[in-house]
Structure 1
Amino acid sequence: MNPLIENAGAIAQALGTTLMMAVIAGIGSIVLGVLVTVARVSPIPILRFAAFCYTQFFINVPLLALLLLAVFALPDAGLLLPLTPTAIIVLTAYESAYVAEAVRSGVNTVPPGQIEAARALGMTFGLSLRRVIVPQALRSVVQPIGNVMIALAMNTALAAAVGVVELTAEVNKINLVAAQPILIFSGAGLLYMAIALVIGLAAGWVERRVAIAR
């Protein structure tokens, strides 16, 4: 019989773990990424420097290295967490750097005249960020953030390297028994493609709904 059908229950459970990781890390990375962007454009030099160092670190260090470091080094430092939450935290921190860069590019699209108008109305920097700058920046970078979310969904596969039983880990375990790599990994690839397609379509729909008329 088809090993994918025989192990449909285990694959569905592993797919659920993949989706759960992608959703939680996706939401977390967007929130954290916006906060990092705010720090990058703030008038406080130390915040700008810290945010710059944060983004450069996570953009230039491989995700797999970060996962291995978190799983094997943090317990030695006395911080013990289950594997799945650890992977989610690392994915959130890693992808938030890319979200921050996308949102920062959106900040640059906000017309300077609107920022000056906010100042003329007496808005503080924080208030102008909340009311004027960040909302428009987010609306202009929906598709880039969608691309980051697609990359995040694909990157969940790396969690298999540190023992998280997600989709890639499960199908690899099935293949070790069934020895049908073309069939099994093609099936997994189609599932990942479906996830990417859904995210892409959702991002396109949101982008059309919130598009800024220039």
Structure 2
Amino acid sequence: MNVLTDNWDLLSDGFVTTLKLTVYCGLVALVVGTLLAACRVSPVPPLRWFATAYVTVIRNTPLTLLLFVVALGFPKLNINLDFITFAVIAVGGYTAAFICEAVRSGINTVPIGQAEAARSLGMSFNQTLSLVVLPQAMRAVVPPIGSLLIAMVRNSAIASAFNVPDLLSTHKEMVENSYNVLLVFFWIAAGYMIITLSMSAAFAALEKKLAVAR
């Protein structure tokens, strides 16, 4: 317990930073991923090509490499942001590619007759997608999106190697202060489990609510 009590301020600050990363990266991933999915099913070919290229490249690129590109490449373009913002862009943009495919698979589960009926009523593509298709698709994609966002929390730990003061980064100072390495990582793992188990419970409740509403 000494590891926890002696380093409470350090661990709590890292925990809060990890929570912020989770929220910000999750928002970026959900918004960008949904927009990419809309582009992938769009009747406009350039939008489909762009979204397909983005998903193909990002899904086949290691997250560590993407973090290097953002953290080291953006300053070369005179885009100077703090490390947390760089991490949000990299991790959120990376997860968005997977969210896109999850949302697109959900869109494909909606009977085509739904979209045809909406178009027969004079709805535009955007109206059909946002008002008819996506609300139905989201019921099917809650479980995979939940899994992806939980994986995102674990992936965000890589940001500690890029000077982001998250939960994992706290191990450096504690190990330097001669605390037991196993206990240090035990409490760090416990912090991540609190976040991921809370997210699992929230998505399970959401899935149950949407299932009842059918």
Whether TM exceeds 0.5 here: the answer is yes
Asked whether the equivalents of residues 66 and 90 of structure 2 are also in contact (C-alpha less than 8 Å), the reply is yes
Q: In structure 1, what is the Cα distance between the partners aligned to 2:212 and 2:64?
A: 37
Q: In structure 2, what is the Cα distance between the partners aligned to 1:3 and 1:198?
A: 24
Residue 133 of structure 1 corresponds to which residue in structure 2? 133
Residue 32 of structure 2 corresponds to which residue in structure 1? 32
Asked whether the equivalents of residues 3 and 179 of structure 2 are also in contact (C-alpha less than 8 Å), the reply is no
Q: In structure 2, what is the Cα distance between the partners aligned to 1:172 and 1:56?
A: 36
Amino acid at match of 1:60: N
Residue 166 of structure 1 corresponds to which residue in structure 2? 166
Q: In structure 2, what is the Cα distance between the partners aligned to 1:9 and 1:53?
A: 44
Q: In structure 2, what is the Cα distance between the partners aligned to 1:18 and 1:206?
A: 23
Amino acid at match of 1:86: F
- Root mean square deviation, CA, Å: 1.4
The aligned runs of 1:180-199 (5 Å cut-off) are: 180-199=180-199
1:213 deviation in Å?
Answer: 6.7
Asked whether the equivalents of residues 139 and 212 of structure 1 are also in contact (C-alpha less than 8 Å), the reply is no
- Say yes or no: does 1:57 pair with 2:80: no
Asked whether the equivalents of residues 22 and 152 of structure 1 are also in contact (C-alpha less than 8 Å), the reply is yes
The runs of 5 or more residues in structure 1 that have no matched partner are none
Amino acid at match of 1:153: V
1:176 deviation in Å?
Answer: 2.5
Amino acid at match of 1:168: L
SS in 2 for 1:57: helix
Q: In structure 1, what is the Cα distance between the partners aligned to 2:146 and 2:106?
A: 14
Q: In structure 1, what is the Cα distance between the partners aligned to 2:148 and 2:164?
A: 22
The aligned runs of 1:78-157 (5 Å cut-off) are: 78-157=78-157
Amino acid at match of 1:162: F
SS in 1 for 2:110: coil
